[in-house]
Amino acid sequence: MYVLVGGAGLVGLNLAQRLVELGHTVAIIDIDANACRYVREQVGAMAFEGSAVNTELLLEAGIRKADSVAAVLRSDALNLAMVTLAKYYGVSHIVSRMRHRDFEAPLRIAGAQHIISTIDLAVSTMVNAIVYPEVESMMHFEQGQIEVLKISVPAQCSAIGRSIAEVAQDTHFPTGSLIIGYQSHPQMDLEIPNGSTVLESGSKLLIVTKPGSLDQVVDFIEN
């Protein structure tokens, strides 16, 4: 996949690095010559020096053949302009960073399918770390309507030795919540369990639930 990234700040550089590691072809556009040099020498991606909203430079960088465009420039206005141009040049998959919520609707109208609020993401992650320290990680989907959390099964958990089917039928396990992943040991791969999978102490669970049921899920696993 060919991905064109606008902006070589911390987000842009780390995004490019990760995509390169996954085997994708990446090009970054940035006005900073030193940043472009770093991209070529350290990240292993292509770099084009100049404005990511300059049409001539976008064409030179191959926007017409890009499978995806990520706008992570220094301002929402610039991201909006890049999203608009990416849509104009026929890019089918467009992602944009957003700093201020006032830009969400314009970015969506301009053609961004995925809009990432870095501030909201950071705040949400910190709140979860404070309120739910026992949860290793948490992801939000559908504007926060669905939560997916990863949590360890402690030695005192009443579900130890019981199958996932038995846990699902327990009246204390929140209705509508599902165990969708199971890792029996830190060195083992996360697997998709079935109803007969038996929970062990120290194992890790991936659970999908509604935000209103989050406290109940954590209490069930921790007790």
As a whole number of angstroms, the distance between CA 67 and CA 94 comes to 9
φ and ψ of 166, to 5 deg: -70, -40
Contact present, 14 and 32 (Cβ < 8 Å)? no
Instruction: Map tokens 């009443």 to a residue.
Output: 158
Contact present, 96 and 71 (Cβ < 8 Å)? yes
- Residue 54 CB-density burial (10 A; 0-12 exposed, 13-18 middle, 19+ buried): middle
Top CATH class of 2-121 equals: alpha beta
As a whole number of angstroms, the distance between CA 68 and CA 93 comes to 5
pLDDT by residue for the chain (223 residues), tens only, comes to 999 999 999 999 999 999 999 999 999 999 999 999 999 999 999 999 999 999 999 999 999 999 999 999 999 999 999 999 999 999 999 999 999 999 999 999 999 999 998 887 788 778 878 888 888 888 777 666 888 999 999 988 889 999 999 999 999 999 989 999 999 888 888 899 999 999 999 999 999 998 888 889 999 998 8
Domain boundaries, the chain: 2-121, 136-222
Asked whether the domain spanning 136-222 has the same topology as the one spanning 2-121, the reply is: no
Q: What is the β-pairing status of strands 178-183 and 204-209?
A: antiparallel
As a whole number of angstroms, the distance between CA 119 and CA 191 comes to 32
- Per CATH, the architecture of 136-222 is what? 2-Layer Sandwich (3.30)
As a whole number of angstroms, the distance between CA 184 and CA 187 comes to 9
